Structure 1
């Protein structure tokens, strides 16, 4: 099978930094991560093998997760956390290690600067996502989550606003919402914060080769940037697209009558997993059952 390896893809600098910070705590006592260090279960499992425990509970905020830790060290994930979370951890006499992505910190700093000027913040993001949670908790009264145009319609048009966003959002969705906001609100400043890694990965997917008849986006279903890559491939590039966690998710039905595949991956997807997908597709022949055999996944190679 012919395979295009979409470039760039995979790990961004924030993910690399977070993983390296976590790995330095390997085999020490009472090391906890508040939520998934990055949104990839294979990375979480590989860190567990190093004695680094992930504390996660569906629907629980980072502040609530701290109630499950009584001693030791907590690592703040790449998605960031509010000052309330860090202060609570220190009040519990926990050691705090911050693995927040530099681009997320940059967005937080931008939000704080505009809040100091008494300007309302519109934050384009995903409800319940830890990055959005961290940003919104800076000032829940004056930061407004924007997911749809309806959220903009419900605002007071006479106030002064700045609009920014979760770093992993679709740059096309952010553009549309920003353009719409300019037609509804009288006084608004645009301060888009889609990180460079997200932007160039999304642009590469949107410009995918015409002869591609199936696209595989490798990544965890929790990963917003992976979801956005799949959405852009499907809706903007108009390609048959599958979001998969690993080579094990590829089925024969996905490959039936397909001759040319393209592969990309989310910013928190291990290169090892993506390479397994690429190599499997390269050797795959629908008419040769010996090419159906998939490789085993070795957790020791994830990190």
Structure 2
């Protein structure tokens, strides 16, 4: 079969077929009397082998080695191609994410776009100090897309950089809460924790609603962050989690202070006192828990709390009795 017919049937151009011949990849078996290339059935089969390997991303040099090497194993080649393709796709996805982020800043002109590019480079730095500097070096009147900050805050492990990102996200406004709220539903507890801490720094009813949702989180740390933030916003739904923090000894002092602030509402005060009394009754043998509950009672702006402290001043646990007596005296003086 002559070269023109081979090109028509195979879809490989005559120019490429001549290139294959010059490289020694596919040399026609014969020549006509006039000197034209004449391909046999085996030659055409080899052309399709070459094209198949090209479609997998191999260079012509790699294809030549693969076809000539008797020890060539397709499985090793395919495995290497998979790894290289995955790396390329990852790089291209990162590029696509950067382009989309920059596109989101297009209404603010090139200055805004370049600021986003600068921030992207900074946030991708392996050095925490460089990432923090990138966040804390804003350009006046050039807003940064909340989506970019939200993505960064959900993946940042350094506490200082994370704090800077939360600050910047709270200032960014816009869809900050929406952008980071997806992290509250992540399967990764660390991501949920970062999301709750970020939302805790944002004002508004939407942020409060997400914090209340996080009170049901299965992770104790996530629940604790959500309870403290929601309680400071006056959300009484945080009371059970805050009382549990006192019992467990997790940020118990801060949790007691938030409970004291919530107790300024008479209806909530009754609920809090009932919960604290119930925990005292349930932990008659645990001195550490009873001490923390006693200290929490001192934060309650209620006459009833002082009455309970006076009763605890006669507790069988001497440490509890001494602390309750001292706290009751301080409250009486106030």
TM-score (normalizing by structure 1): 0.25
Larger relative strand fraction: 1
Q: Mark the structure with the bigger radius of gyration.
A: 2
